[in-house]
Amino acid sequence: MIPEIGHLLLIIAAALSLLLAVIPMVGLYKRNAYLISYYRPISNMMISAFLGAIICLAISFISNDFSVAYVADHSNTQLATFYKVAAIWGSHEGSMLFWVSAIALWTVIIANTHNNEADHAFFIRTISVLAAVICGFSLFIIFTSNPFVRLLPNFPIEGRDLNPILQNIGLIIHPPLLFLGYVGLTVCFAAAVAALMGKQFTQQHARYLRPWAILAWVFLTGGNAFGSWWAYNELGWGGWWFWDPVENASFIPWLVATALVHSVVMTGRFGQCKKLTLFLAILAFSLSLLGTFIVRSGVVQSVHAFAADPTRGMSILLLLVLFSGSALALFATRAQYIQSTDKFALISRNSLILIGNLLLVIAALSVLLGSYYPIIYRVITGVTISVGAPYFNSIFVPILVLLSLLMGLAPLLRWQQDSAKNLKVPAFLLGISIVLAAIINNSFEQANAWFFIGLMSVTWLVLTLIIAMIQHQLHTSSITQTRRFYAMCVAHLGVAVAIFAGSVVSNLEQEEVLSMGPNQGRTLAGYTFVFENTQQVSTNSYDALQANIRIMDEEETTVGYAYPQRQTFKTNGMQMSAAGVYSTLGKDLYVSMGNQLNDTEYLVRISYKPMVNWLWIGAILMMLAGVWVVIACRDSTASKHSPCRTNDQKTSRLEEATS
């Protein structure tokens, strides 16, 4: 009975989303306040229906109702309860329900928090566009991806179990963050379409949009970072980014979302780059849908792709064409009505942000081309080609260096216009960065050009941030603006930390793949890995052969242990290699155990990975900075509740001149 209730609630939610998309717009067209007023009760009922459907699915998982096909395919009586809950979004049907429910939740937040004194028509259009997106995805779920489909009358008494790769804390963190990022991009898309429909995109609209864009960026940052951490720890291959097409599917929208965040700042403060902001909002949403299509259509084979149904993929492609095509057509016909004051000097912070946005879009399109050109080529010619890491590194690393230079220089320049004489200090700092990077690079045996470039970029970013903070403290008195400025500094510091960690681990890591058995030892990077013995380990989900690896330093003092495993899952017999990692703040000593070679020896990969954990620390710093900005925007809300308003015109002029 519970699955039927969930199915009914899903249908009700779809119907309510259709009403929410139509009724307020009709009221707006007819100037009927009575019809417009329905948007709040309808949105509240809609989210209630979606949450009810999710609860019904959760009950089905927890109660082991294997008559539900989705539960039978992705759960088991032996599965831990928290994994049963996480399995709700662990595969295609449940993840789509989670995604559309999150869009509905954010729609309700907008419907119940926006200020009536603001541009009411803009908000009504935004809510209606969001409802249209919800309706489209709800129908997609009902007709192609229904998580409540029954296996009656013949259903299994035991489930197939959740994919062993997904039985990790990463499943609890990574997908929700990624979906919430996509939801944020959906809000930005809806606001862009609403502005184009109204032929007006004001600074107040941009100020309202800014926190949503930042939240989308924060969640996407977390989704990509925790996905990388999950793959690093779970797959046993020891890498933190593989340029996999499915990895890139979420990375590409993140690049465009980064450009969107910077563009919406300029629009909100100066009324500049309005058309660019609207285009980036549409592009970021479109790329998130394209990534969803790639992950779920089966056109690429990847451990990250958890659905391979061409019918579902084509349905998502149809939604992509419908929503993105309509939005781009609207942009082509209505962008001419959006008035923007795009006047600023070449030497200014504005121009550097604009150039940086251009580079971010170029980077996104370059990754897009490298990821999906082989797919297009295979479809056209039938010949399989591959594009690997050398292509992506050769394209992306130079762009990243240019972006680093712009990130360091921009905070040192004034908004709108600055003098060429103020470039002397940045030039001096760049010289110092080059010298310091060269000295550090030459002190390592593995020194190379890529390592030098990474060190130079990081040194430049740190030095310029220090000078920028000193300048800001001397010239700016606005508390709100100071909060935002320091949040920006933390975000840029996070980028610097991630670049530093990526440069160090990519150029200084050491790795060996060898055969090892009990009482055998190998030395790597000054550490001795001693294979002491093996033992059997059993859990509710799997049996494992575990190796106990003692790790000693150069003085033969034991510093710790690593426990790699070869796991065999009880429900399906699937075997996996779980890495053993001895982790400190400055390094990881990484051990993974492969197949057994003979009676006593196993194939073992031992790795020394310096500074690898700082990759994710850098991402966390970026996320915290984004949350800090959103809080600063909320705290600075004036009497009219317009997000990110400055305290008064005098402060605004001072900020524009000096910050």
Q: Which amino acid is at 500?
A: F
Looking at residue 647, what is its pLDDT? 37
Statement: residue 657 has pLDDT above 50: no
User: 73-98: b or e for each residue (b if 16 or more CB lie within 10 Å)?
Assistant: bbbbeebeeebbebbbbbbbbbbbbb
Rounded to the nearest angstrom, the gap between the alpha carbon of residue 395 and the centroid of all alpha carbons in its chain is 21
Q: What values do phi and psi take at 443, rounded to 5?
A: -80, -5
Statement: residue 461 has pLDDT above 90: yes
Quote the mean pLDDT of the chain. 89
User: What is the mean predicted confidence (pLDDT) over 511-517?
Assistant: 93
User: What is the mean predicted confidence (pLDDT) over 470-495?
Assistant: 84
User: 461-496: b or e for each residue (b if 16 or more CB lie within 10 Å)?
Assistant: bbbbbebbeebbeeebebebbbbbbbbbbbbbbbbb
What confidence category does residue 307 fall into, taking pLDDT thresholds of 50, 70 and 90? low
Higher-pLDDT residue of 166, 102:
102
What confidence category does residue 309 fall into, taking pLDDT thresholds of 50, 70 and 90? low
Return the top range by mean pLDDT from 242-251, 264-273, 608-617.
608-617
User: Cα–Cα distance between 493 and 471 in angstroms, integer?
Assistant: 17
User: What does the block give as tokens for 551?
Assistant: 């790790």
Residue 647, CA atoms < 13 Å, CB-side half-sphere: 12
Statement: residue 606 has pLDDT above 80: yes
Contact by Cβ (8 Å): 76, 571: yes
What confidence category does residue 2 fall into, taking pLDDT thresholds of 50, 70 and 90? very high
Structure confidence by residue, pLDDT tens digits, 393-443: 999 999 999 999 999 999 999 888 888 888 899 999 999 999 999 999 998
Looking at residue 365, what is its pLDDT? 95
Q: Which residue(s) pair with 562 in the sheet? A: 549
Looking at residue 659, what is its pLDDT? 38
Return the top range by mean pLDDT from 15-19, 90-94, 114-118.
15-19
Burial class (CB in 10 A: 0-12, 13-18, 19+), 113: exposed
Rounded to the nearest angstrom, the gap between the alpha carbon of residue 541 and the centroid of all alpha carbons in its chain is 30
Rounded to the nearest angstrom, the gap between the alpha carbon of residue 124 and the centroid of all alpha carbons in its chain is 28
Read off the DSSP letter of residue 519.
T
Contact by Cβ (8 Å): 410, 422: no
Structure confidence by residue, pLDDT tens digits, 194-221: 999 999 999 999 998 999 999 999 999 9
Looking at residue 655, what is its pLDDT? 37
Higher-pLDDT residue of 317, 496:
496
User: Cα–Cα distance between 7 and 12 in angstroms, integer?
Assistant: 9
User: Cα–Cα distance between 217 and 257 in angstroms, integer?
Assistant: 6
User: 135-156: b or e for each residue (b if 16 or more CB lie within 10 Å)?
Assistant: bbbbbbbeebbbbbeeeeeeee
Contact by Cβ (8 Å): 54, 35: no
Statement: residue 644 has pLDDT above 50: no
User: What is the mean predicted confidence (pLDDT) over 622-646?
Assistant: 68
Q: What is the pTM of this model?
A: 0.92
User: What is the mean predicted confidence (pLDDT) over 226-238?
Assistant: 85
List the domain boundaries for the chain: 1-165, 510-611
Q: What values do phi and psi take at 651, rounded to 5?
A: -60, -40
Q: Lowest-pLDDT range, 130-139, 210-219, 483-492, 565-574?
A: 565-574
- Cis ω on the peptide bond leading into residue 153 (within 30° of 0)? yes
What confidence category does residue 648 fall into, taking pLDDT thresholds of 50, 70 and 90? very low
Statement: residue 51 has pLDDT above 70: yes
CA angle 279, 285, 288 (to 5 degrees): 140
Read off the DSSP letter of residue 569.
E
Contact by Cβ (8 Å): 581, 562: yes
Statement: residue 563 has pLDDT above 50: yes
